[in-house]
Structure 1
């Protein structure tokens, strides 16, 4: 089952400073990791961005998804990562090197040097970079991330394996492109104006999600998905009592099943779900919605 999570570039629109924005992005990465998401995709919501947009969000997410032993090598010093120290640890097996089978553990490494004799030096979090033979038909470049299988640490015995780097991957793409992927599975939009998720409704969904995988999209604080897709401001859609809604309704108060994300590029969600049907707060933050939603939607049949 492939799980993709979509979050907007306006994810940290309400953050008061860079430190708070960084911490919030960290909990988004943590939610995706806890529920074993394969991809975390940032889609553009430029009208909702404020001080920190998609480039900042993507950089911090990529850093958070990088194993700690590779961060200095991969990132160096960048202004976006000024408060990277507040990021919560993901502690995913792909980061800690605790994924294992009969042949030992696997972990990520970075190629630091490519030699002329079919060997490369790889930094994989051991005391020093190690020299490894490149498998036949595998091509690697300096700076590339690779998978290393370690069978012994004392003495060091390891080999480079021709396998995709495991763990959460971070991408940035248009919403229509993300929903149009062949492995998108069940495409779910979360909104407080969607169909309430119930035990019986989840029962009918579980088998389909387990078989096909899913793509789940989330909005940002006070700016829900329908507002992003329909382009109507919160002020234009006040509730009946004059209190602005959270941006999760369209112009006529309905939730569409199909919305044109951009001219000539229609995008369709299979479901609009309210995954927090009894919310006690007017606004559910993106990271809170992710924990609540993915906890339900990843339950086995």
Structure 2
């Protein structure tokens, strides 16, 4: 596992040039897969506030919904995610195949599972963990929510779980829809290293060693991406974090690089620094 926390910042203008619902769903799917492949801890959707970004709030909510859908284990989706017209094309999304999306429907004692709290009584909470019967947690938990659990007992009459999550495997990402400016969204994470991706920044090969040293030292890293209309225009400098402006695609062969393409390319480079 990586020793740092990695947060990715995506603008709510990310989809503003794509109007077809199927294409919009597919583009978010590329982001979700990249987050899982490179083990991002958080994805923050910030308010781009560009004059051409007329539907920013709605688009931001859609991005969050699709990313949450992808991150939810298949066995919980029907219960945890209401049917919506906006999600009609989620069938084209690639599965994450992360450790919290188990293929085995019959877990063993000691396994970890995400579970959806169905109901509770005076003794505790009944939880759906994808088995043929509900598990029971001896704690009062909020119902209709997803929590992490460890299976402590499997018997004919009952399955017992306790709230817990593994610390040695990747357990998915958190989706934060802030609706705030980029700088104010950064304050939600409180990073100590911020990397702003821009074609006007230092070429990645010219500062690779210096940046890798910073990555080795820091505990919370934020990587920022702009939208389809321009690079990041907001000044995000702050004394609480080191700021680097980096071109992770020097010598690009196309006039523009789409946000989802920049995310995949950038995270693959940072994987070398973090691993």
TM range (shorter): 0.7 to 0.9
The structural deviation recorded for 1:66 is 1.3
The structural deviation recorded for 1:15 is 1.6
Counterparts in 2 of 1:211 and 1:104: CA distance versus 1, 3 Å = farther
Counterparts in 2 of 1:104 and 1:190: CA distance versus 1, 3 Å = same
Kept after mapping to 2: 8 A contact 1:185/1:214: yes
Deviation per residue, 1:40-63 (Å, 9 max, x gap): 000012434356621211111111
In 2, the alpha carbon distance for the partners of 1:197 and 1:67 equals: 36
Q: Residue 192 of structure 2 aligns with which residue?
A: 185
What is the TM-score normalised by the length of structure 1? 0.76
Could you say which structure has the larger radius of gyration?
A: 1
Deviation per residue, 1:148-207 (Å, 9 max, x gap): 223677867542224599420000122122322464121011011111000x52222223
Q: Does residue 152 of structure 2 align to residue 145 of structure 1?
A: no
Kept after mapping to 1: 8 A contact 2:6/2:42: yes
Counterparts in 2 of 1:6 and 1:179: CA distance versus 1, 3 Å = same
Q: Residue 213 of structure 2 aligns with which residue?
A: 207
Q: Does residue 125 of structure 2 align to residue 120 of structure 1?
A: yes
Q: Residue 161 of structure 1 aligns with which residue?
A: 163
Q: Does residue 204 of structure 2 align to residue 197 of structure 1?
A: yes
Task: Return 266-275 or 16-25, whichever deviates more.
Answer: 266-275
Counterparts in 2 of 1:266 and 1:211: CA distance versus 1, 3 Å = closer
Kept after mapping to 2: 8 A contact 1:202/1:297: no
Match of 2:150, SS state, is strand
Kept after mapping to 2: 8 A contact 1:8/1:219: yes
Match of 2:34, SS state, is helix
Match of 1:190, SS state, is strand
In 2, the alpha carbon distance for the partners of 1:86 and 1:153 equals: 35
The structural deviation recorded for 1:259 is 5.2
Kept after mapping to 1: 8 A contact 2:48/2:227: no
Q: Residue 53 of structure 2 aligns with which residue?
A: 49
Counterparts in 2 of 1:128 and 1:103: CA distance versus 1, 3 Å = closer
Structure 1 alignment gaps of length 5 or more: 230-257
Higher relative contact order (CA 8 A, sep 6+): 2
In 2, the alpha carbon distance for the partners of 1:61 and 1:75 equals: 12
In 2, the alpha carbon distance for the partners of 1:93 and 1:61 equals: 17
What is the TM-score normalised by the length of structure 2? 0.83
Q: Residue 291 of structure 1 aligns with which residue?
A: 264
Q: Does residue 28 of structure 2 align to residue 25 of structure 1?
A: yes
- Structure 1 vs Structure 2 CA RMSD: 2.8
Deviation per residue, 1:113-170 (Å, 9 max, x gap): 11112x2110111122222322xxxx41111221122367786754222459942000
In 1, the alpha carbon distance for the partners of 2:216 and 2:6 equals: 10
In 2, the alpha carbon distance for the partners of 1:193 and 1:121 equals: 54
Counterparts in 2 of 1:283 and 1:267: CA distance versus 1, 3 Å = farther
Task: Return 121-130 or 202-211, whichever deviates more.
Answer: 202-211
1:95 corresponds, among 96, 101, 105, to: 101
